Structure 1
Amino acid sequence: MKIHIIGGSGTGKSYISDMLSNEFNILHFDLDNIFWDNNSDYYGVKMPIDKRTKLLENILEEEDWIIEGVYYSWLKESFRDADYIFILNVSSFVYKYRIILRFLKRKVGIEKGKKETIKSLIELIKWTDSYKKNTLPKIIDFLEPYKNKVIEVKRAKDIFQYIRS
């Protein structure tokens, strides 16, 4: 089974990908770990395109996979190979709540993650608002060639009803 999950911050991509990975014993890949160079000494350094491309190619060679992230324009092969493409289009109230909750959990040490500030929190919420309003419609257009396997859901857990049927 090959599953691609796309959506903005706080939509539940990582959460549902972990659940699917555990239930179906499928490897889960977060595109942030391919797009950003997490070994860099500096925050916000992008992975070199050739290295990113090779990492994606290696994932696509797997028999089963779950790929999740906000990205789309460089992922044609992933969309082509996927059995399912899920678009998470949750309400702005839900993703804002989740983004703030994640921020608070990281601040008090309950959850590991990148160091964030109030400023970066506000920027992330603004970015996610813009993603939902401006980028998501572009993604839907971009996915037109794969429309027979694109499923838009309002709640991440709804993905299970499609996979189990």
Structure 2
Amino acid sequence: MKLYIIGSVGSGKSTLARQLSHALRVQHFETDNFVWQRQEGGDVRNAEPVRDAQLLSAIAQKDWIIEGVHIGWTDKAIQTADIVIFLDIPYHQRTYRCVVRYLKQRVGAERSNYKPSLSMLLKMFTWNRYFEETMKPVFLEKLELMPDKTWVFKNRRQINEFLVEQVRE
């Protein structure tokens, strides 16, 4: 199975990818980890050819789950996927999740790939708004061209029903 998950910050992409990866025993990838070389002193942006090669290496595998919010350079993975999931969780709920995530990370209850700072929380708010106003319409337009393999989920109940169905198959 090749599955691509799209959604804004706070939509539940990583959580869903981990759940599906565990249930289906399929490796999952975060597009952020193609973009960034994770280093203890701070992340360094990969050159585009490195980023693109990592994406192509992931989609060359027999089965995979890729999740992310990046657009344009990820089109090959979206086109290659058997199923594309768009997490269209309401804006206010994503914002709330960003705050909860920040608080959990600050007290050490949740791990992060970045330093959980107030400036990072503010960036998440900015990214969330940008997704809602700019990226979401572009993604939805792209996904209209592939209705047979696209699922749009607006709440946790719909996601859970999908999870149960996938695990049964």
CA–CA separation in structure 1 for the residues paired with 2:59 and 2:120: 33
Identity of aligned residues (%): 29
The residue that corresponds to 2:137 in the other structure is: 137
Q: Give the letter aligned to residue 18 of structure 2.
A: D
**What is the CA–CA distance in structure 2 between the aligned matches of 1:66 and 1:37, rounded to whole Å?**
20
- Stretch of structure 1 that moved more, 136-145 or 15-24: 136-145
Please report the TM-score for the alignment, with normalisation by the length of structure 2: 0.88
Distance 1:92 1:29, change over 3 A: same
Q: What is the SS of the residue equivalent to 2:115?
A: coil
C-alpha distance in 2, partners of 1:133/1:159? 27
Residue correspondence of structure 1 range 19-34 to structure 2 within 5 A: 19-34=19-34
Superposition pairs for residues 90-105 of structure 1, below 5 Å? 90-105=89-104
Q: CA deviation at 1:157?
A: 3.0
- In structure 1, C-alpha distance between the alignment counterparts of 2:41 and 2:146, rounded to whole Å: 38
Residue 48 of structure 1 corresponds to which residue in structure 2? 47
More moved, 143-152 vs 54-63: 143-152
CA distance in 2, matches of 1:58, 1:134: 29
The count of residues paired between Structure 1 and Structure 2 equals: 164
| Aligned residues of 1:2 and 1:65 also touching (Cα < 8 A) | yes
Q: What are structure 1's unaligned runs of at least 5 residues?
A: none
* Native 8 Å contact 1:84 1:149 kept in 2: yes
Q: What residue is the counterpart of 1:152 in the other structure?
A: 152
Name the amino acid aligned to 1:33. N
Deviation at 1:92, TM superposition (A): 1.7
Inter-partner Cα distance in structure 2 for 1:119 and 1:60: 34
Q: Distance in 2 between matches of 1:42 and 1:21?
A: 27
Other-structure match for 2:10: 10
* Structure 2 residues without counterparts, runs of 5 or longer: none
Q: Which moved more, 1:154-163 or 1:75-84?
A: 154-163
Q: Residue in 2 aligned with 1:128? A: 128
TM-score by length of 1: 0.90
* C-alpha distance in 1 between matches for 2:55 and 2:160: 26
Counterpart of 2:46, as a letter, is M
Offset of residue 162 of structure 1: 5.8
